[in-house]
Amino acid sequence: MSEHINITDENFETEVLKSQIPVLLDFWASWCNPCKMIGPFIEQLAGEYSGRVKVGKINVDEAGEISSRHGIVSIPTLVVYKNGQIVNQAVGAIPKKDIEALFKDFID
């Protein structure tokens, strides 16, 4: 069962900027092999941290405005938001423990 939310230009403000809990955003594309490598980790973490961290996936081919605002030039790019602000980010295929470390310190 998928625990992530598909983030679009239309729901970005509500789901990310106004979120009461930290948000992990995964900027990805279906043709990106490194994105496919970390995809299962993202899904696992979404389930493990359900209710404490919101996990959003942003397809860069479909949400160009959001990707452009974030200056996304390489994918996968992971961005962590808390209280409407970017607090951490990483680029590339990284291990699950490193993805978890991006947001763990921001959980209340």
Q: Hey, which residues are catalytic here?
A: 32, 35
In the β-sheet with 23-28, what is the strand arrangement from edge to edge?
Answer: 5-6, 54-59, 23-28, 77-82, 85-91
Structure tokens at 101: 């470390």
